[in-house]
C-alpha cells in the first residue's frame, strides 16, 4: 500500500471524536485507508444488498453486532442508519473513534451528518494520489505529460490498469449508477455529454447560459447537474477572491476536476504524447496544480483556502491563498523555460496590495528566486507546499 498523507490526521481525529468519516470520490482509496488505520475493526460494506437491507430494516440489531465499533463503507447507501448511530454513540460518550464511515457522496452526506452527528463526528476528505504520495512510485513522476494523462486514481497508478480501459468503465459506472442514486436523471446520454462539455471548460469561469444553449436544457438543470458532479467529488468550483482595492472583479467561479486523468478520458486524449501540442495542455496543467494545492489542505484535515482573482480590466492571478491577514499569490505556467514575463500578475498584485512575495509553479525543472521575493518552482515542488 502506498502511504497516504491523510493517515496521521485521521488517527488524530479518531482519538478526539466518537466517530470519523472519510469522504471522497469512488476508487480514491477510502476503504484501503480505513482498513489500514483501523485493522482491528470489523469491515461492513453497505453496498452489499443483504447487509444494507439488514441495516435499514433492523438498525438496532444491526448495530448490536458491533459493540466495539466497525468500519461502515459507503454509508450514503443507508443514510437512515446515521440517526441510530447517534443514539449508539450517545450511550457510550467516552469512547473515541468507535465507528469509521466512508462515503462517496459529499454534500448530501454532510447534510445528514450535520443534522444527526454534529459534535460527535469529524470528517476528512481523501482525493486520488497526490504528488507527495506518488513519490513512492518514482516512475509515476518521470514525465509530466504521462502524469496528467494518468491522473492519480490508485487503480491506474498503483494497480497498473490502463487509463483508457479504467476511465471508460469508471465513467459508465458513475453515470449509470451513482448519478441515479443522487438524482433520477432520465436522459443519461445527455448528462454524459454535459460531463464531457465540462471537461472542455476546465480552468474557465462557468457560463451557465452557454452550457444551457448547447445542451438544450434550462439554467436550473445545469446548476442541478453541476451540484451532482460536486456532490460526488468529480468537480469543484474555485471561487473568486473579493477585496477592498476599489477594483471591479469578476464574480463567477472557475470549474476544475479533481483528477486530470478523468479529464483526458472525457476529451478522448488516448496517449500522453498527444498532450505535447494539445490546446488543452495549459488548462490541464493548471487543473493539476490547483488540485494538488487542495490535496495538500485536505490531507491535513483543512478546508480549501484557494481562490482566483481577476479584474474586469484583464489583470488576474491563477490562485490566491487566503491566509487571513495575508493573501499569497500563485501563478501557474505549463511552459518549461522560465520567463520574466510570468511575474507580471504577481508584481501588479504586490503593487495593489502592498504585500511582498509570490510563487510561480511551472512545467520545467528549474527553481529560482527573483526580485520581489518571487520564487519559480518546478511542478514537482508542489508536494512540499
Query: Are 152 and 292 members of one domain?
Result: yes
pLDDT in tens, the chain (385 residues): 899 999 999 999 999 999 999 999 999 999 999 999 999 999 999 999 999 999 999 999 999 999 999 999 999 888 889 889 999 999 988 999 999 999 987 655 556 666 778 889 999 999 999 999 999 998 999 999 999 999 999 999 999 899 999 999 999 888 777 777 777 787 888 999 999 999 999 999 999 999 999 999 999 999 999 998 998 899 999 999 977 555 556 678 999 999 999 999 999 999 999 999 999 999 999 999 999 999 999 999 999 999 999 887 888 999 999 988 889 999 999 999 999 999 999 999 999 888 899 999 999 999 999 888 999 999 999 998 8
Which of 64, 91, 125 delimits the end of a domain? 125
Supply the pLDDT for residue 305.
95
pLDDT at 184: 74
Look at the block and give the residue holding cell 471548460: 201
Q: Are residues 274 and 294 in the same domain?
A: yes
- 118 and 170 housed in the same domain: no
Indicate the residue among 104, 125, 146 that finishes a domain. 125
Domain final residue, candidates 91, 125, 159 = 125
Q: What is the pLDDT of residue 110?
A: 57
Residues in the chain: 385
Same domain assignment for residues 248 and 290: yes
Residue 188 confidence (pLDDT):
85
Is 166 found in the same domain as 100? Answer: no
Task: Give yes or no: residues 190 and 288 share one domain.
Answer: yes
Question: Domain residues for 302?
Answer: 131-384
Is residue 99, in this structure, part of any structural domain at all?
yes
Residues 43 and 150 in one domain: no
Do 100 and 178 lie in a common domain?
no
The position carrying cell 497526490 is: 130
Q: Which of 343, 202, 344, 197 is nearest to 285 (CA)?
A: 202
183 in a structural domain: yes
In a shared domain, residues 166 and 27: no
Are 68 and 213 in a shared domain? Answer: no
The number of distinct structural domains making up the chain is 2
pTM: 0.94
pLDDT tens column, 238-257: 999 977 555 556 678 999 99
Decide if 1 is inside a domain.
no
Quick one: pLDDT at residue 221? 92
User: 115 and 109 in contact (C-beta within 8 Å)?
Assistant: no
Residues 73 and 154 reside in one and the same domain = no
Answer yes or no: is 2 within a domain: no
Say how far apart CA 229 and CA 216 lie, in whole Å: 19
CATH at residue 114: 3.40.50.300
User: How far is 117 from 84, CA to CA, in rounded Å?
Assistant: 10
Same domain, 98 and 190: no
Amino acid at each position: 500500500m502506498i502511504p497516504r498523507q491523510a493517515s496521521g490526521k485521521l488517527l488524530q481525529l479518531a482519538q478526539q471524536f466518537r466517530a470519523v468519516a472519510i469522504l471522497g470520490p469512488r476508487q480514491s482509496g477510502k476503504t484501503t485507508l480505513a482498513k489500514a488505520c483501523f485493522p482491528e475493526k470489523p469491515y461492513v460494506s453497505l453496498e452489499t444488498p443483504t447487509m444494507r437491507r439488514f441495516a435499514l430494516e433492523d438498525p438496532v440489531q444491526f448495530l448490536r453486532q458491533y459493540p466495539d465499533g466497525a468500519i461502515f463503507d459507503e454509508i450514503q447507501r443507508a443514510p437512515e442508519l446515521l440517526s441510530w448511530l447517534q443514539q449508539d454513540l450517545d450511550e457510550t460518550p467516552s469512547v473515541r473513534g468507535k465507528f469509521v464511515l466512508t462515503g462517496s457522496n459529499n454534500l448530501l452526506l454532510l447534510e445528514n451528518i450535520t443534522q444527526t452527528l454534529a459534535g460527535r463526528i469529524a470528517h476528512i476528505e481523501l482525493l486520488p494520489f497526490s504528488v507527495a504520495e506518488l513519490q513512492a512510485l518514482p516512475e509515476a513522476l518521470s514525465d509530466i505529460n504521462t502524469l496528467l494523462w494518468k491522473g492519480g486514481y490508485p487503480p491506474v497508478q498503483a494497480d497498473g490498469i490502463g487509463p483508457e480501459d479504467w476511465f471508460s468503465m469508471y465513467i459508465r459506472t458513475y453515470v449509470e449508477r451513482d448519478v441515479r442514486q443522487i438524482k433520477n436523471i432520465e436522459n443519461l446520454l445527455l448528462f454524459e455529454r454535459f460531463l464531457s462539455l465540462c471537461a472542455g471548460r476546465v480552468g474557465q469561469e462557468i457560463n451557465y447560459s452557454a452550457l444551457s444553449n448547447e445542451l438544450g436544457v434550462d439554467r436550473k438543470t445545469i446548476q442541478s447537474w453541476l451540484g451532482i458532479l460536486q456532490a460526488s467529488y468529480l468537480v469543484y468550483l474555485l471561487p473568486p477572491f473579493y477585496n477592498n482595492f476599489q477594483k471591479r472583479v469578476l464574480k463567477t467561479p472557475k470549474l476544475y476536476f479533481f483528477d486530470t486523468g478523468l479529464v483526458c478520458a472525457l476529451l478522448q486524449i488516448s496517449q500522453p504524447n498527444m498532450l505535447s501540442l494539445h490546446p488543452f495542455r495549459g488548462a490541464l496543467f493548471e487543473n493539476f496544480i490547483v488540485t494538488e494545492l487542495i490535496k495538500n489542505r485536505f490531507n491535513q484535515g483543512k478546508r480549501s483556502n484557494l481562490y482566483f482573482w481577476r479584474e474586469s480590466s484583464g489583470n488576474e492571478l491563477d490562485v490566491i491563498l487566503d491566509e487571513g491577514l495575508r493573501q499569497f499569490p500563485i501563478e501557474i505556467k505549463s511552459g518549461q523555460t522560465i520567463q520574466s514575463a510570468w511575474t507580471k500578475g504577481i508584481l501588479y498584485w504586490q503593487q495593489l496590495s502592498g504585500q511582498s512575495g509570490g510563487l510561480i509553479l511551472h512545467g520545467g525543472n528549474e527553481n529560482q528566486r527573483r526580485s520581489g521575493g518571487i520564487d519559480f518552482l518546478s511542478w514537482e515542488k508542489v508536494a512540499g507546499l
